[in-house]
Chain A
Amino acid sequence: MDKLEHNIKNAFVESDVNTTFSGKEAMWQRLDASMNKRKSVAVWWKVAAVFLGFILAGSVFANFKIRAKHQQQMAEMQMQNTRLKQAVDSLLVTSRQKIKTETKVVEKIVYRDRIVAQETDSKNDFWHKKYQKLQDSTAVSLALQKRMYQDELDKMNDDLVAAKSELLAMQNQEKQEQVTTTEPFRLKGEQVKMEVQKKPTIKPSEMKLKIFPQSFSENKNNLNKTLFNK
């Protein structure tokens, strides 16, 4: 630093020392007020920070609680879901079993030659089947009984026909016996001698074919003649 700069520095230092600030008291008042304000602001911020801390802690706690509740709900839902799946599986199995039962019913349908409505999902399936079964068995027993009666009736009819024919034969015999006792004479049996068969001797000229059956008069053209005598 040269002399000029040194002198300038000293001049300014001296000037600074001699400077008096007239508005010092007014500035201190402002400064005091500002510091108080800052202090109060700081206190307010502390309160706000504590409040925010509480809110934060509360939110974290609530978050944990909500998460736990949510997890519990999820677990319950999953359990319910599993239960439902099991129920669906069991229903699927039962429906398959029902189909097997229906197959049996179809066999009966073939036997009875009748179509039965298939109700797999009906709650009264058991009673319906039982009813069908009873109906089927009743029908079968009725048919059997009917056939038995028919057979018996046929047999009785045959017996009746046989009895009738026997009666008729007996009546005929009785009639014959009555005739023999009333006839004055009896015809002798006639014997016929059969000779050896001879070949017919027909002249070829006499062999005439007759295609047209009607007889032709002399005035009409004999079609048989014109056909063969050509």
Chain B
Amino acid sequence: MKLQKIIHKSVKGDRRSQKQFFDLYANRLYAVAKRYAVNDELAEESLLLAFLKIFEKLPEFVFINEAALVGWLSRIVINQTLMDRRKELNTLYKLESIDEEHIEMLSDEEPDNTALVELVNQLPDGYKTVFMMYVVDGYAHKEIAETLGISENTSRSQFFKARKLLQKKLNYNYGQAGT
């Protein structure tokens, strides 16, 4: 069935089409939720709530292409996941220094994708969230600030600190590979 048809029927309330839509994007959106959630359980809870919101707001969505749809869905999931963590993250960003020493050093080998993901996941929570929102999900600093309830400057500083930390880590292990 064509994607547009699935969306149209889902909007009409057809449960089979809604199931098809869910099956199509559940894995990808679960991965997004998992990136921002503290653990798998919270990621699942956030995803459930996000899907409820998606089916509720689907009539308002104007379909252009699948990439736009995925972006729209990802944003709903990210917002839903961060909504519960907003207070926690806000407190975290207020702290001046974040303990950077707990990052484990990687081996001397060239980092593959899994290693990079692992490296980012090892970043402190505040750095990681801002870094992933900016780099992976394409948020602007203004949007990050609005979503997390922090100032734009905090978002910028968090991002630069995260990048610096990653560079330091990569320089230590891979020389100039990261620059």
B47 to chain A: which residues have CB within 8 Å?
Answer: 27
Tell me the smallest distance from the CB of B68 to a CB of chain A, in Å.
16
Contact in complex: B117, A17 (CB < 8 Å):
no
The reply on B127 being an interface residue by CB < 8 A is: no
Contacts A8-B116, A12-B132, A15-B117: A28 and B22 contacting too (C-beta < 8 A)? yes
B27 to chain A: which residues have CB within 8 Å?
Answer: 19-21, 24
User: A13 to B70, alpha carbons, bound, how many Å?
Assistant: 12
Q: Which of A30-38, A63-71, A98-106 contacts B (4 or more CB under 8 A)?
A: A30-38
Residue ranges of B at the interface with A (Cβ–Cβ < 8 Å): 15, 18-19, 22-23, 26-28, 30-32, 34-35, 44, 47-48, 51-52, 55, 112-114, 116-117, 120, 132, 135-136, 163, 166-167, 170, 178-179
User: A32 to B21, alpha carbons, bound, how many Å?
Assistant: 13
Contacts A10-B113, A24-B26: A4 and B35 contacting too (C-beta < 8 A)? no
Which residue on chain B has the smallest CB distance to residue A14?
B113
Beyond A8-B135, A12-B132, A32-B19: 14 further Cβ-contacts under 8 Å? A3-B179, A7-B113, A8-B166, A9-B136, A11-B117, A12-B136, A15-B31, A16-B31, A16-B32, A19-B27, A19-B30, A21-B30, A30-B48, A31-B22
B178 to chain A: which residues have CB within 8 Å?
Answer: 3-4
Contact in complex: B30, A4 (CB < 8 Å):
no
Contact in complex: B32, A31 (CB < 8 Å):
no
User: A1 to B166, alpha carbons, bound, how many Å?
Assistant: 14
The reply on A204 being an interface residue by CB < 8 A is: no
The reply on A174 being an interface residue by CB < 8 A is: no
Contact in complex: B52, A34 (CB < 8 Å):
yes
User: A17 to B113, alpha carbons, bound, how many Å?
Assistant: 13
By Cβ-Cβ distance, the 5 closest A-B pairs, closest first, are A11-B113, A19-B31, A16-B31, A21-B30, A11-B116
The reply on A107 being an interface residue by CB < 8 A is: no
The reply on A5 being an interface residue by CB < 8 A is: yes
Which residue on chain A has the smallest CB distance to residue B28?
A16
Which residue on chain A has the smallest CB distance to residue B134?
A5
User: A38 to B48, alpha carbons, bound, how many Å?
Assistant: 14
Contact in complex: B167, A4 (CB < 8 Å):
yes
Contact in complex: B179, A2 (CB < 8 Å):
yes
**Complex interface residues of chain A between 129 and 171 (CB less than 8 A to chain B):** none
Contact of B35 among A12, A17, A28 (CB under 8 A): A12
Contact in complex: B48, A27 (CB < 8 Å):
yes
Tell me the smallest distance from the CB of B137 to a CB of chain A, in Å.
9
B113 to chain A: which residues have CB within 8 Å?
Answer: 7, 10-11, 14-15
Contact in complex: B166, A11 (CB < 8 Å):
no
User: A34 to B170, alpha carbons, bound, how many Å?
Assistant: 46
Contact in complex: A28, B19 (CB < 8 Å):
yes
Contact in complex: B44, A11 (CB < 8 Å):
no
B51 to chain A: which residues have CB within 8 Å?
Answer: 27, 31
Q: Can you show 28 pairs from A to B with CB atoms below 8 A apart?
A: A2-B179, A3-B178, A4-B170, A7-B116, A8-B117, A8-B166, A11-B117, A12-B35, A12-B132, A15-B31, A15-B113, A15-B117, A16-B32, A19-B27, A19-B28, A19-B30, A19-B34, A20-B27, A21-B27, A23-B44, A24-B22, A24-B30, A27-B44, A28-B19, A28-B23, A31-B48, A31-B51, A34-B52
